């Protein structure tokens, strides 16, 4: 009986809110990273915002710095979804 109650509690509104928050966090992180990449490669090749090798290297570092949090968010969302089944 306790297992059935635990299952019922796992599918309550708190669980749905937690799942939605995890999904939104993942989506926001992914969109932010995509926006950074698009912005970097849309800049003109000449001018004050010139795309340089250093700028490209900094973008690569930003991507590498963001990937662990994206992976953590994806795993958290996966765990929330598995918990609801």
pLDDT tops 90 at residue 8:
no
Confidence at residue 7, expressed as pLDDT on a 0 to 100 scale? 58
Confidence at residue 1, expressed as pLDDT on a 0 to 100 scale? 43
The whole-angstrom separation of Cα 28 and Cα 73 is 10
Torsion sign, CA atoms 50, 53, 56, 62: negative
The whole-angstrom separation of Cα 62 and Cα 41 is 14
User: Pseudo-torsion of CA 66, 67, 68, 71, nearest 10°?
Assistant: 130
When comparing pLDDT for 20 and 1, which is higher?
Answer: 20
Confidence at residue 33, expressed as pLDDT on a 0 to 100 scale? 92
- Would you list the domain boundaries of the chain? 2-84
- pLDDT, tens digit (0-9, with 9 covering 90-100), for 26-66: 999 999 999 988 888 886 665 665 667 788 888 899 999 99
């Amino acid at each position: 009986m306790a297992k059935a109650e635990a299952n019922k509690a796992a599918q309550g509104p708190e669980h749905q809110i937690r799942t939605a928050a995890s999904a939104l966090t993942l989506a926001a992180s992914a969109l932010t990273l995509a926006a950074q990449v698009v912005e970097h490669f849309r800049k003109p090749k000449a001018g004050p915002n010139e795309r340089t090798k250093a700028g490209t290297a900094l973008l690569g570092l930003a991507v590498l710095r963001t990937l662990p949090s994206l992976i953590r968010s994806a795993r958290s969302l996966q765990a929330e979804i598995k918990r609801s089944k």
